[in-house]
Amino acid sequence: MEVASNLHTIKKRISEAAERAGRHPDEIKIIAVTKYVTPERAKEAFEAGIHHLGENRSEGILAKREAFNEQPIWHFIGSLQTRKVKSIIDKVNVIHSLDRISLAEEIQKRAEKPVDCLVQVNVSGEDTKHGIPPQETMEFVNQLANFDKIRIIGLMTMAPLTDNQDEIRQCFKELKELQVQIQKLLLPFAPCRELSMGMSNDFEIAVEEGSTMVRIGTALVGNE
Ligand SMILES: *Cc1c(COP(=O)(O)O)cnc(C)c1O
């Protein structure tokens, strides 16, 4: 399918989910996850009007950047190895996967200007998932106070691998609750306005639960 027609359908579904939750659809940014597809397909997404693109590997971002004259807003959504920070730090706009102090230290060391980061939280507790345990998230954020190259713009999570919609919804609710707690601290370095949650199979639930950034690959650009 053409990206433009997929986008049309997804926007409609987002609008309807937003409406059910009494939200405005403009509060939700669509990030096209292009990790499975060619640079040409990524360009098609950009030309269809999606200006936020997400990749989960440094090689993916570096290779795709070459295909663009005008660069999209690049989101790094995958687990980020410390040794890869140097090669991507001035090539991404948002890092969704801040999940350890050693990574924060490397970003602090390599970045020339403050970087917008989201703390990845492992709400579901699945061993295979990266992220800070929810009960340690507040302390983790507090520890970032002296990192002047890191701005905590929000939190990110991945729903558990399950067909159980209630379990998925519960995961998103917990991330929202954590966001509210962090916002209450009024930390200048952690405005925490964004919630990055929702993928091809669960973005409507995520929107109903307060997502501001949905990361959609398969349903938008495909997966081959
Ligand atoms: C691959 C990936 C996505 C997109 O997944 P789809 O199910 O294809 O929409 C979103 N977020 C992260 C972190 C991913 O790695």
Pocket probe mutation, ligand 1, options 37, 56, 163, max atoms within 8 Å of Cβ: 56
Q: How far, in Å, from the CA of 108 to the mean position of ligand 1?
A: 27
Q: State pLDDT tens for residues 206-218.
A: 999 999 999 999 9
pLDDT at 127 over 90: no
Question: Under a CB-based contact definition with an 8 Å cutoff, are residues 122 and 133 in contact?
Answer: yes
pLDDT band at 44 (very low <50, low <70, confident <90, very high): very high
| Cβ proximity of 214 and 28 under 8 Å | yes
Nearest atom in ligand 1 to 216's CA = 9
Q: What is the pLDDT of residue 139?
A: 97
Nearest CA to ligand 1 atom 11: 215
Q: Is the CB of 33 inside a 6 Å radius of any atom of ligand 1?
A: yes
CB 215 less than 6 A from any atom of ligand 1? yes
Average pLDDT over residues 21-36: 98
Out of 207, 215, 216, 221, give the residue to mutate to test ligand 1, the one with the largest number of ligand atoms within 8 Å of its CB: 215
- Provide the pLDDT for residue 170: 98
DSSP string, the chain: --HHHHHHHHHHHHHHHHHHTT--GGG-EEEEE-TTS-HHHHHHHHHTT--EEEESSHHHHHHHHTT-SS--EEEE-S---GGGHHHHTTT-SEEEEE--HHHHHHHHHH-SS-EEEEEEB-SS--TT--SB-HHHHHHHHHHTTT-TTEEEEEEE----SSS-HHHHHHHHHHHHHHHHHHHHTT-TT----EEE---TTTHHHHHHTT-SEEEESHHHH---
For the cut 90, the answer to whether the pLDDT of residue 169 exceeds it is yes
Region 141-159 average pLDDT: 97
Q: Could you tell me the pLDDT band of residue 1, with boundaries at 50, 70 and 90?
A: confident
- CB within 8 A of 188, min separation 6: which ones? none
Out of 70-84, 120-134, 150-164, 187-201, pick the least confident. 120-134
- Tell whether the model's pLDDT for residue 129 goes beyond 90: no
User: For ligand 1, is residue 77 a contact (CB within 6 Å)?
Assistant: yes
Residue 114 CA, ligand 1 centroid: distance in Å: 26
pLDDT at residue 58, as a whole number: 95
